[in-house]
Amino acid sequence: MMRLVILAILCISTARAEVDHSNLSADVFCMAQNIYHEARNQSVAGQYAVGLVVLNRKADGRFPHSVCGVTTQGQHKRSWRDKKILIPIRNRCHFSWYCDGMSDAIHDMKRWSYIVRLSKYILSGKRLLDITDGATHYHATYILPDWAESKTETARIDDHIFYRWEKRAIDLEREKILRKEGKIP
């Protein structure tokens, strides 16, 4: 089974079809942007794993319920130029690329095209093998964030260590209510 999933991922990563970037859904764009900035230098398995973390968070009642909500989660402040615009507070986001103060421009279009196709596959609704075993967090191997001690390590893929945030009884009850309200799957 695992070999079939990896084969499917490799087929997606090596496909040569051009991607029309102007017609991407918000979910695909946010997923691709997150994978591009967090894992573009990783293997396809590493990129796939980063995408799975976004899906795992989206399905978890403790996180936002949309792909874009998950990838842009963090503290924001009002722009001094336009008070209607919220901007991320530097280094206060769940995914560092979103609020590191650096440009989020896409420079490697070939890699971006691969990642867009991978993102479409991840978001296709097909039953996916979760190679992260339910991970909701990850970090690069060269850092050790404070939160790592309170999570359960589930996988090491390329330069990332993946963790699952175990649910307490209160978290499970909250999820039950959110599912009943149709807010999470």
How far is the CA of 67 from the CAs of 59, 63, 72, in angstroms? 10, 10, 9
What DSSP designation does 42 have?
S
Residue type, 183: K
Q: What is the pLDDT along the chain (185 residues), one digit of tens a residue?
A: 444 444 444 444 444 334 455 678 999 999 999 999 999 999 999 999 999 999 999 999 899 999 999 999 988 899 899 999 888 888 888 998 998 889 999 999 999 999 999 999 999 989 899 999 999 999 999 999 999 999 999 999 999 999 999 877 777 777 788 888 887 77
Would you say residue 11 lies in a domain?
no
Would you say residue 16 lies in a domain?
no
Would you say residue 130 lies in a domain?
yes
Would you say residue 65 lies in a domain?
yes
User: Torsions phi, psi of 71, nearest 5?
Assistant: -70, -20
Would you say residue 172 lies in a domain?
yes
The reported pLDDT for the residue numbered 21 is 59
Tell me the C-alpha distance between 81 and 185, whole Å: 38
Would you say residue 17 lies in a domain?
no
For 163, the domain range is: 24-180
pTM: 0.79
Torsion of CA 40, 42, 46, 48, to 10 degrees: 30
Neighbours of 146 (CB within 10 A): 6
Rg (CA), the chain: 17
The reported pLDDT for the residue numbered 45 is 97
Would you say residue 33 lies in a domain?
yes
Angle at Cα 118 formed by Cα 112 and Cα 123, nearest 5°? 125
Whether 143 contacts 123, CB under 8 Å: no
Domain count, the chain: 1
Longest dimension (CA), the chain: 53
Would you say residue 108 lies in a domain?
yes
